[in-house]
Amino acid sequence: VGEQVLLKCSFKSSSPITESLLVDWTYRPLAGGQMETVFHYQSVPHPITAGKFKDRISWVGNVANGDASIAIQSPELSDNGTFICSVKNPPDV
**Nearest partner of 25 among 66, 90, 93, 82, judged by Cα:** 82
Interval 66-85 mean pLDDT: 95
To the nearest whole percent, how much of the chain has pLDDT over 90? 89
All structural domains of the chain: 4-88 (2.60.40.10)
Looking at residue 20, the DSSP 8-state letter turns out to be T
Rounded to an integer, what distance in angstroms lies between the CA atom of residue 48 and that of residue 39?
A: 6
Check if the beta carbon of residue 26 is closer than 8 Å to that of residue 40: no
Global pTM reads 0.92
For the stretch 13-41, pLDDT in tens is 999 999 999 999 999 999 888 999 999 99
Phi, psi of 9 (to 5 degrees): -150, 120
Cis ω on the peptide bond leading into residue 91 (within 30° of 0)?
Answer: yes
